[in-house]
């Protein structure tokens, strides 16, 4: 009887031990399952909660997800996900080809072809013969009339000296010297030889002088106005020679590395689709715009018949011949604000993001300037699908784990 009791007690103890051990395993398993799940939002993948509910941003129902135990910048996909995402890979090798890059730009006035008509003496502008920006002034046309006491005095000295030339002795010799001095002064003030000669025959010296343009051009700026007083050297009108225009465009700093001064370009125009002209890069701004990360490129465009107008939009095509490098599909490169990256296949079903430096670009291909392992396979289609799945699972950007 005592032996039977002992056996019963031992059986109860064993049963209790097994039950407790099983419960601990179940609790631990439940704990592990709970820890392996989190809840996120398909619209806002940065939201991660440890229990079901609604998204605090868009109020959609949260979706349960398993924690991704893969390394930073890596993601594992099933065969079905790879098929649905149309994810394909291939190794890339260095090739040699011609690359054509296209940019949009705007025609502007060639600042090197601008001339300023300035006052040669102090005085008051009595009349402007042209009063509108855009007016064309031909060479030798009158531009403005100036009232100047300095010029009037020089005119009077010239007239007096001329009248004294016929006097005998030293008077005549001194008059000749005074005549030469007065003429040089009038030439300095901007009077022509014809205007100076006319003083000899005039009965009265006028304080008003008309000045003529010494070159042709289109008025780009009116600096002075009628009735205003100006100092010697002050600008009155700016004339632009529109036979040559500038074409300015903004390019990404990564693309500008392959450009150089004198590089040939073909330019077409939205307003004249049938017209194409040849141009060359004449200026590459050494300073990058810190806000846009763009670089100013300038070309000089001939405009002999004045058909082209400042402000017109144009398309620039730059061709680089025999360019050697690694090129991938444009869809393979993910662009972020400060950098670009691609996805490579680390092993079957596992993909890793890799930051790269890009170079020349066409409509369909992008040059990779970073060193690449030739054995690695690059994702050429479906890169954005991988990127979206990564953000959805991990709630972060794959760039966060990269070294800048």
- The confidence score (pLDDT) of residue 27 equals 46
Sign of the four-CA dihedral 178, 181, 187, 189:
negative
**Helix, strand, coil in percent for the chain, rounding step 5:** 25, 40, 35
Read off the pLDDT band of 40 (50, 70, 90): confident
Pair 104, 209 in one domain: no
Pair 331, 278 in one domain: no
The total number of structural domains in the chain stands at 4
Whether residue 113 is predicted with pLDDT greater than 70 in this model: the reply is yes
Q: Mean pLDDT, the chain, as a whole number? A: 82
CATH of the domain at 184: 2.40.50.100
- Contact present, 158 and 199 (Cβ < 8 Å): yes
CA angle 399, 402, 403 (to 5 degrees): 135
Whether residue 99 is predicted with pLDDT greater than 50 in this model: the reply is yes
Q: Is the full-model pTM beyond 0.75?
A: no
Residue 76 structural domain: 69-96+325-401
Higher pLDDT, 160 or 43: 160
Pair 281, 250 in one domain: yes
Where b means 16+ CB within 10 Å and e means fewer, 205-231 reads bebebebbbeeebbbbebebeeeeebe
221-265: pLDDT as tens digits: 999 999 999 999 999 999 999 999 999 998 877 667 777 888 888
Is residue 313 assigned to a domain?
A: yes
């Amino acid at each position: 009887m005592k032996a039977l009791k002992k056996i019963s007690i031992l059986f109860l103890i064993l049963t209790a031990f097994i039950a407790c051990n099983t419960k601990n395993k179940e609790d631990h398993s439940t704990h592990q399952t709970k820890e392996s799940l989190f809840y996120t939002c398909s619209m806002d993948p940065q939201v991660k909660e440890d229990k079901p509910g609604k998204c605090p941003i868009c109020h959609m129902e949260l979706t349960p997800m398993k924690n991704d135990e893969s390394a930073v910048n890596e993601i594992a996909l099933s065969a079905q996900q790879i098929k649905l995402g149309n994810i394909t890979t291939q190794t890339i090798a260095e090739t040699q080809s011609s690359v054509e890059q296209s940019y949009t730009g705007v025609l502007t006035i060639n600042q090197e072809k601008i001339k300023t008509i300035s006052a040669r003496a102090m005085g008051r502008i009595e009349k402007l013969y042209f009063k509108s920006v855009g007016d064309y002034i031909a060479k030798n046309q009158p531009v403005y009339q100036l009232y100047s006491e300095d010029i009037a005095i020089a005119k009077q000295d010239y007239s007096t000296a001329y009248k004294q030339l016929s006097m005998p002795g030293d008077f005549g010799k001194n008059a000749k010297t005074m005549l030469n001095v007065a003429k040089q002064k009038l030439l300095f003030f901007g009077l022509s030889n014809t205007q100076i000669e006319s003083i000899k025959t005039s009965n009265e010296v006028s304080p008003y002088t008309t000045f003529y343009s010494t070159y042709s051009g289109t008025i780009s700026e009116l600096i002075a106005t009628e009735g205003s007083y100006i100092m010697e050297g002050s600008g009155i009108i700016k004339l632009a020679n529109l036979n040559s225009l500038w074409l300015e465009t903004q390019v990404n700093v990564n693309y500008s590395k392959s450009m150089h001064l004198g590089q040939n370009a073909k330019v077409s125009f939205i307003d004249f689709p049938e017209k194409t002209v040849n141009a060359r890069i004449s200026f590459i701004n050494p300073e990058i715009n810190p806000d846009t990360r763009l670089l100013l490129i300038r070309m000089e465009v001939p405009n002999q018949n004045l058909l082209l107008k400042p402000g017109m939009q144009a398309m620039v095509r730059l061709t680089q011949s025999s360019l050697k490098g690694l090129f991938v599909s444009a869809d393979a490169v993910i662009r972020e604000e400060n950098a670009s990256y691609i996805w490579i296949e680390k092993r079957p079903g596992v993909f890793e993001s890799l930051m790269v430096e890009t170079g020349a670009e066409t409509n369909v291909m992008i040059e990779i300037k970073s060193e690449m392992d030739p054995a690695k396979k690059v994702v050429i289609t479906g890169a954005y699908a991988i990127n979206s799945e990564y953000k959805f699972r991990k709630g972060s950007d794959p760039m966060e784990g990269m070294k800048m």
